[in-house]
C-alpha cells in the first residue's frame, strides 16, 4: 500500500485525543479520516480544525466508511477485542493501544484471527520500545558490552488514577508496560510473576491496594522488581536501574534545566506520561505508518500483546494469592517467529 493512510481513531479520550493531534500535525503519510467516540460531542471536538475528518459514534460506521483504510484503537482495553476482530476481517493496518486485551484467552483469540488472515496487521502501543533510553539499554543488554544483565529494578509511579481504575488494572493497565519492556530488553519470555502487598497509601481510591511490589523472572533467570504506585501524587516517573556483570545503568530520570536561584536548587518533576513519552509516541506512530505503507507492522506484534496478557493474568492471580504464579504460553505461531 503506497497511498496516504486515512485513519479512523476509535476513542477520543486522553490517549486518543493525543494521537489525533500527532497524526494531524506531526506524522507523515497519514491523516485522520474519522474519529469515533460513544460520546459524540467528544468526537466532534476532536476533529475541530482537521479537514475532511468525520465524527462518528459507532466504530462499525467507521469500518464501513470507504474513506478509511487504517484503524487506531484508543478505547479502554476491555473493549479492544471486538474492534480488533472487525478491523482484521477488513484486513486493515491496526495500531492498538496497550493492552492488546486484558486477559490471555481474549488475546489468544486475536493471535488466532491474525494467523488465519496470514499476515501481521496489528501493532500494539508499547511505546517504551521507541524511547531513546530504553533503546540504548536494550542495545547494552544485547551487545553484552557490560557483561550479562542480571537484575532490573523498575519504578512506575503515576500521580493519580482515572475514575474506574480497578485494583487489577495496576497490573493489566500499568505493569503491562514493564512486562513488555522486560521482554524487549532481555529478548526472553517471562516465566513467573509474584505480587506482594505491603503498607498502603491512604490516597488510593476504594478497592485499590497501592503501592504493590511485583517480582518477575525471565527464562534465563533475570530477576526484575517493579514498584507500581499509581496514586503517588508528586508527579510521573518511569525509571529503571539495570545491574550488569560489569556495571550499573540508570534510565528514566527527570530531565530539563537544573536551576539554582534565590538560594534554592532544583528542576521540574515530569507531570504525566504525555510529557515523559511524547517523543516515543511520535516515533511509534510514524513507525506504524511507514510499515503499513510496506504492508507490515513497525513494532510489537499481537504475539507481544498475547505474551504480556498472559503475564497480566498471572499477575492478577498473584495479587490475590501472594504466591509465585507461573506464566504459561501457547506455542508461538510461525507468523511471529
Ligand atoms: N501508551 C500509553 O502510555 C497509554 C495508553 N493508554 C491506553 O489507551 C487506551 C485509552 O485510554 P485513555 O485514553 O486513558 O481512556 P479514556 O477513558 O480517557 O478514553 C477512552 C475513550 O473511549 C471512548 N469509548 C468508550 N467506549 C467506546 C466505544 N465502544 N466506541 C468508541 N469510543 C468509546 C470513551 O468515551 C472515551 O472518550 C487504553 O487502552 C489505555 O490503556 C492510556 C494512557 C497512556
Ligand atoms: O499506559 C499508561 C496508562 O494507561 C497507565 O495507567 C499508566 O500507569 C502508564 O504509566 C501509562 O503509560
Nearest CA to ligand 2 atom 4: 173
The ligand placed nearest to the CA atom of residue 284 is 1
Domains 5-128+279-302 and 131-271+308-336 share a fold: no
Place of cell 476481517: 89
The topology (CATH level 3) of 5-128+279-302 is: Rossmann fold (3.40.50)
In the reported structure, the alpha carbon of residue 179 is separated from the centroid of ligand 2 by a whole-number distance in angstroms of 13
| Low-confidence stretches of the chain (pLDDT beneath 70) | 1-2
The ligand placed nearest to the CA atom of residue 175 is 2
Nearest atom (ligand 1) to Cα of 281? 1
In the reported structure, the alpha carbon of residue 200 is separated from the centroid of ligand 1 by a whole-number distance in angstroms of 27
The ligand placed nearest to the CA atom of residue 16 is 1
Contact indicator for 41, 61 with CB cutoff of 8 Å: no
Place of cell 492471580: 317
Domain boundaries, the chain: 5-128+279-302, 131-271+308-336
- Interatomic CA distance for residues 307 and 111, integer angstroms: 10
In the reported structure, the alpha carbon of residue 174 is separated from the centroid of ligand 2 by a whole-number distance in angstroms of 5
DSSP per-residue letters across 285-321: HHHHHHHHHTTS-SS--HHHHHHHHHHHHHHHHHHHH
pLDDT at 1: 54
In the reported structure, the alpha carbon of residue 231 is separated from the centroid of ligand 2 by a whole-number distance in angstroms of 12
Instruction: Summarize pLDDT for 207-225 with one digit per residue, the tens.
Output: 999 999 999 999 999 999 9
Quick count: other Cβ atoms within 10 Å of Cβ 300?
26
Written out in words, the top-level CATH class of the domain with range 131-271+308-336 is alpha beta
pLDDT at 2: 55
Work out the percent of the chain whose per-residue pLDDT is above 90: 98
pLDDT at 3: 83
Q: Taking the CA atoms of 136, 142, 147 and 151 in sequence, report the sign of the dihedral they define.
A: positive
Nearest CA to ligand 1 atom 4: 15
In the reported structure, the alpha carbon of residue 257 is separated from the centroid of ligand 1 by a whole-number distance in angstroms of 32
pLDDT at 255: 86
Instruction: Summarize pLDDT for 267-325 with one digit per residue, the tens.
Output: 999 999 999 999 999 999 999 999 999 999 999 999 999 999 999 999 999 999 999 99
How many helices (H) and strands (E) the chain has is answered by: 11, 15
Amino acid at each position: 500500500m503506497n497511498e496516504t493512510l486515512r485513519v479512523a481513531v476509535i476513542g477520543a479520550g486522553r490517549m486518543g485525543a493525543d494521537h489525533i493531534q500527532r497524526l494531524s500535525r506531526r506524522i507523515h503519510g497519514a491523516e485522520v479520516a474519522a474519529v469515533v467516540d460513544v460520546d459524540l460531542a467528544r468526537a466532534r471536538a476532536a476533529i475541530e480544525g482537521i479537514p475532511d475528518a468525520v465524527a462518528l459514534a459507532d466504530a462499525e460506521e467507521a469500518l464501513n466508511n470507504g474513506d478509511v483504510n487504517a484503524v487506531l484503537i484508543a478505547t479502554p482495553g476491555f473493549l479492544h477485542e471486538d474492534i480488533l476482530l472487525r478491523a482484521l476481517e477488513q484486513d486493515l493496518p491496526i495500531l492498538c493501544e496497550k493492552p492488546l486485551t486484558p486477559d490471555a484467552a481474549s488475546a489468544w483469540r486475536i493471535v488466532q484471527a491474525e494467523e488465519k488472515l496470514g499476515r501481521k496487521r496489528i501493532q500494539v502501543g508499547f511505546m517504551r520500545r521507541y524511547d531513546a533510553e530504553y533503546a540504548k539499554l536494550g542495545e547494552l543488554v544485547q551487545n553484552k558490552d557490560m557483561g550479562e544483565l542480571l537484575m532490573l529494578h523498575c519504578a512506575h509511579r503515576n500521580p493519580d488514577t482515572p475514575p474506574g481504575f480497578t485494583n487489577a488494572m495496576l497490573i493489566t493497565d500499568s505493569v503491562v508496560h514493564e512486562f513488555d519492556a522486560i521482554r524487549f530488553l532481555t529478548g526472553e519470555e517471562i516465566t513467573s510473576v509474584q505480587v506482594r502487598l505491603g503498607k498502603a497509601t491512604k490516597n488510593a481510591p476504594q478497592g485499590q491496594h497501592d503501592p504493590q511490589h511485583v517480582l518477575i523472572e525471565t527464562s534465563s533467570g533475570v530477576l526484575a522488581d517493579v514498584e507500581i504506585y499509581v496514586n503517588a501524587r508528586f508527579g510521573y516517573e518511569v525509571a529503571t536501574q539495570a545491574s550488569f556483570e560489569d556495571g550499573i545503568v540508570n534510565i528514566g530520570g527527570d530531565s530539563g534545566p537544573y536551576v539554582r536561584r534565590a538560594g534554592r536548587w532544583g528542576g521540574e518533576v515530569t507531570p504525566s506520561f504525555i510529557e515523559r513519552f511524547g517523543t516515543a509516541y511520535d516515533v511509534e506512530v510514524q513507525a506504524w505508518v511507514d510499515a503499513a505503507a510496506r504492508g507490515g507492522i513497525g513494532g510489537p506484534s499481537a504475539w507481544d500483546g498475547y505474551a504480556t496478557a498472559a503475564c497480566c493474568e498471572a499477575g492478577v492471580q498473584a495479587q490475590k494469592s501472594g504466591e509465585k504464579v507461573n506464566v504459561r504460553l501457547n506455542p508461538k505461531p510461525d507468523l511471529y517467529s
